[in-house]
Structure formats: C-alpha cells, structure tokens
Structure 1
Amino acid sequence: MKAPTTGISRFLDQLIRPLFYKHVRSTTIFDGSDLIHRLIDYVARGRLKSSTLFCTFDIIDLYTMLPQEESLNVLCEFLIEHGYRKIDGIPIDAIRRLACLVLTENVFVDGSKIYRQILGGAMGSPFTFTLANIFMWKWEKELLSQLSDVVEIYGR
C-alpha cells in the first residue's frame, strides 16, 4: 500500500497489536490449530453435549465501515482500561491523534475524481486491522457480560 499514512499506520500497528493480543488471548482464536485445541479441551472437560449450539457470524466490510470517531474512542478506552497511559513513552492522546491521521487522511482516485474516505479505514492499512479488532473487543466485551451465564466457550 502506497499512501502518505502507511508509515504511521505500520508504526501504530507494531506498537498496539502486541498489547491487544496480550490482553485478548483468552477470547482470540488465532488459527485453525488453536480452535482445534480449544475444542479438544472443551470436550475433555465434558462440556460438549447433544444440546450444544455453535454460532458463527461475519461482519461484512468491517474495516471500511468502522465509525471513525467511535473507533478512536474505543482505542483509548482499551488502552486506559488495561492500564496504559503511555506506550513506549508516547501518551495516549498522541496515539489517538496519530490514529486519527491514519483514518481521516485517506484519499483515492476513481477515474479523474479524487475522493476522501470518511468512514472506516483503508483496506490494506496495517493499523486498520488492529483498530477493527479493538473495536470488536468493545462489542464482544458488552456481549459476553450479558451472556456470561450461558456461554461455555467463546472465541473469535
């Protein structure tokens, strides 16, 4: 991807993604092998029943449909909730401003017209992936708090 914000996006991704994975390991399925190991453990604990229901869903165009301001707020909420005020000496408000640049300074050309992206983040931008996952963290946190009595295994 050749965009003016690619360097900032890559920097933010390298800064934030490891922190994100550190704090969501218990609810993140990283690959097929990870899923299989979790299911084997679920069965070994005697949790699999004939009444067990599995549910999957897909959010279409998540990266390009992220509400930009809300995503930035959720990013800050995630960092603060996990005890970060600075990351590698960079204050959260500076990280938010950099993330805002990555989201809001995207333009693309279609024919002879130039367009500015006003919703979501650019596909292929490294930090857009991490930001979308952090946005989903907020949603899943709220969902799981409501379903804590009935969810036996969860991952995404």
Structure 2
Amino acid sequence: MNMPTTGISKFLDKSIRPIFDKHARSTTIIDGVDLIHRLETYTTNGYLKPKTYLCMFDITDLYTMLPQEESLDILIEFLLQHGYENFQNIPIDIIRKLALIAIKENVFVYEKKFYQQAIGGVMGLAFTLTLANIFMCKMRETTCSPTGSIQ
C-alpha cells in the first residue's frame, strides 16, 4: 500500500509487534492455520482434555470496525502494562499520537470522490493487524476468566 500513513504504520508495527509477540502471542490464535497447529500441539502435549474449554472470538470485519479511540487507549494500556513508558527514546504519548495518525488520517477514492475512514483501521496497513491483536487480547482478558467462566 502506498498511502500517506504507510511509513508511520510500518514504523509502529515494527516497533510494537515484537512487544505483542513477546507478551501475548503465545495465548493468541491469529488465524485458522494457527488454530490447527495449536490444537495439534495441545493434543501432542496432552493438554487437550475432555473437559478443556476453548474461548473463541470471530468478529466480522474486525480491522475495519475497530473503535479507534478505545483501540488507542488499549494500546497504551498494553504498553504500560508491560513496562514500556517509552521505547526507542520516544515517549508513549508520542506513540499514541503516531498511532492516531496511522488509523485516523486515511483517505481513499471511490467513484472519483475522496472519503476519510472514520471507523477502524485500513485493511492491509501493517499496524492495523497488530492493533487489532492487542485489542482482542484486551477483549479476551475482560471476557474470559482463567477459571473458565465467561464474564
């Protein structure tokens, strides 16, 4: 993609995705292929028992329907929770401003008219996937308890 926000999006993704991978990737299933691999591993290691419960979310159009402000709040909460008040010498409030630009300042042309995306992130932008994964981690934390009950 070649959009005005592509560079910021790539920078944020390159900076934040490793943090997500380090702290949350092991408990997050990204797609159907990942699910199959995880189930095979769980079965091989003896973790999949008859009383094992799995909690799964499948959200239609997640990337393009992310609530922008709430996603940014969750992003900052995630970074602070894992001790990143700044990284690469960039304060966290600047990271939030860059993320805001990456998801809010997107325009597209349809039938020779310009439109600005008001909800969610742009499909195909690198940072959108990482932001959606962090958002879903928060939803999982607030919805599924470790005891197996659903809130």
Q: TM-score surpassing 0.5?
A: yes
The answer to whether structure 1 residue 98 and structure 2 residue 98 are counterparts is yes
Contact 1:29 1:35 in 2 (8 A): no
Q: Name the residue aligned to 1:120.
A: 120
Name the SS for the 1:7 alignment partner.
helix
Q: Once the 2 structures are TM-superposed, how far is the Cα of residue 39 of structure 1 from its aligned partner?
A: 2.8
For 1:73 and 1:118, the matched residues in 2 are separated by: 17
Aligned residues of 2:8 and 2:102 also touching (Cα < 8 A) = yes
CA RMSD in angstroms, aligned pairs only:
1.8
Task: Kindly provide the CA deviation profile for residues 96-116 of structure 1, in whole angstroms up to 9, marking residues without a partner as x.
Answer: 000000011100111121100
TM (norm. structure 2) is 0.87
Once the two structures are aligned, what percentage of the paired residues are identical? 54
Aligned partners of 1:137 and 1:113: how far apart in 2? 36
TM-score (norm 1): 0.85
Is there any run of 5+ residues in structure 2 with no aligned partner, and where?
none
Shift of 1:48: 1.4
CA contact (8 A) 2:55 2:144 kept: no
SS in 2 for 1:21: helix
Structure 2 counterpart of 1:28 = 28
| 8 Å CA contact retained: 1:104, 1:118 | yes
Question: 5+ residue gaps in structure 1?
Answer: 152-156
- 2:148 corresponds, among 141, 145, 150, to 150
Return the alpha-carbon distance in structure 1 between the equivalents of residues 123 and 113 of structure 2. Answer: 19
Q: Give the number of the structure whose alpha-carbon radius of gyration is greater.
A: 1
- CA separation of 1:25/1:129 partners in 2, compared to 1, >3 Å: closer, same or farther? closer
In 1, Cα distance between equivalents of 2:28 and 2:52: 20
Question: Residue type matched to 1:150 in 2?
Answer: G
Q: CA deviation at 1:53?
A: 5.2
Cα offset for 1:33?
A: 2.8
